[in-house]
């Protein structure tokens, strides 16, 4: 009887461990909400902000790497010339692009950003020696805390849209409330919704390509966010509005091309 009770107890422990493991795995399937904040909230974080170049990388064993940085442009926080960041080794699956100077709506959309959350729900960034990044160094890194910034003539790209937005936001200059452009965005997304361009379920039922489904989902999420929080629409950065308008036109054209091809 005692042995049976012991077996039952062991079974309970095993099942409990499996349940906890499954719950943790499920919890980390998507990055925590604190890592997926809107771009408007990113600059409000209590973090040091700078553009810095990777000047060295020291393997620490396993996947861990210590990256050494040289500060190129300190925008907020304690002045420093060099610093280190503990991250992981770059893998073939890592994204180290600049989202086309951060003009791509994929960056500005929900879940946008160069890095990803690990299976432990923490961010372990990777970098390329020689490349430069716009860094937010604080206690709570997000998916946009380590964005690559291309260099032009030895200086951070002045036409990078994320860098331009962050500089303006940190300068304290009041954001220009361009209600006309916000109205254009809302009207454009309304038209796409009416045309079925943002209906993910309908597009999936029509066997739309995965890439088009993903792009439609990003714009649909933005449209739903505006409808749920209309009073916050004035906070949408100009750079994000421009990227969304370009993406809306591009996606509509791509869907029309796909539909015309599928109808043949």
Residue-wise pLDDT tens digits, 116-161: 888 888 999 999 999 999 999 988 899 999 999 999 999 999 999 9
CATH, residue 140: 2.40.50
Average pLDDT over residues 96-125: 93
Is residue 48 located within the same domain as residue 132? Answer: yes
The number of distinct structural domains making up the chain is 2
Reported as a single tens digit per residue, the pLDDT across 177-191 is 667 888 899 999 999
Is residue 160 located within the same domain as residue 184? Answer: no
Is residue 166 located within the same domain as residue 183? Answer: no
What is the pairing mode between strands 155-156 and 132-137? unpaired
Is residue 58 located within the same domain as residue 164? Answer: yes
Average pLDDT over residues 231-244: 88
Assigned domain for 11 exists: no
Task: Tell me the pLDDT band of 174, cut-offs 50, 70 and 90.
Answer: low
User: In which domain, by residue range, is 186 found?
Assistant: 179-263
Assigned domain for 151 exists: yes
Contact 180/212 with Cβ under 8 angstroms? no
For residue 172, the Cα-to-chain-centroid distance in whole angstroms is 24
For residue 95, the model assigns a pLDDT of 82
Q: How far apart are CA 59 and CA 141, in angstroms?
A: 22
Q: What is the DSSP letter of 184?
A: H
For residue 31, the model assigns a pLDDT of 84
Reported as a single tens digit per residue, the pLDDT across 32-53 is 889 999 898 899 888 999 999 9
């Amino acid at each position: 009887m005692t042995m049976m009770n012991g077996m039952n107890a062991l079974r309970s422990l095993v099942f409990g461990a499996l349940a906890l493991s499954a719950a943790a795995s499920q919890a980390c399937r998507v990055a925590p909400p604190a890592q997926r904040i809107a771009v408007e909230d990113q600059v409000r974080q209590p973090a040091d902000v700078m553009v810095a170049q990777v000047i060295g990388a020291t393997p620490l064993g396993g996947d861990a790497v210590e990256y050494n940085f040289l500060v190129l442009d300190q925008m907020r926080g304690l002045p420093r010339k060099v610093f280190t960041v503990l991250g992981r080794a770059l893998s073939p699956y890592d994204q180290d692009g600049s989202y086309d100077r951060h003009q791509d709506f994929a960056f500005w959309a929900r879940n946008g950003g160069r890095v990803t959350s690990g299976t432990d729900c923490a961010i372990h960034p990777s970098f390329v020696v020689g490349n430069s990044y716009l860094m937010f160094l604080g206690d709570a890194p997000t998916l946009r805390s380590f964005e690559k910034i291309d260099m032009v003539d030895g200086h951070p790209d002045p036409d990078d849209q994320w860098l331009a937005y962050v500089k303006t936001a940190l300068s304290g200059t009041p954001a220009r409330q361009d209600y006309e452009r916000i109205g254009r965005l809302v009207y454009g997304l309304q038209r796409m919704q009416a045309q079925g361009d943002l209906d993910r379920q309908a597009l999936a039922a029509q066997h739309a390509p995965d890439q088009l489904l993903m792009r439609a989902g990003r714009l649909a999420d933005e449209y739903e966010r505006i409808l749920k929080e209309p009073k916050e629409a004035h906070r949408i950065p100009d750079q994000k509005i421009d990227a969304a308008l370009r993406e809306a036109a591009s996606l509509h054209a791509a869907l029309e091309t796909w539909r015309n091809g599928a109808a043949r």
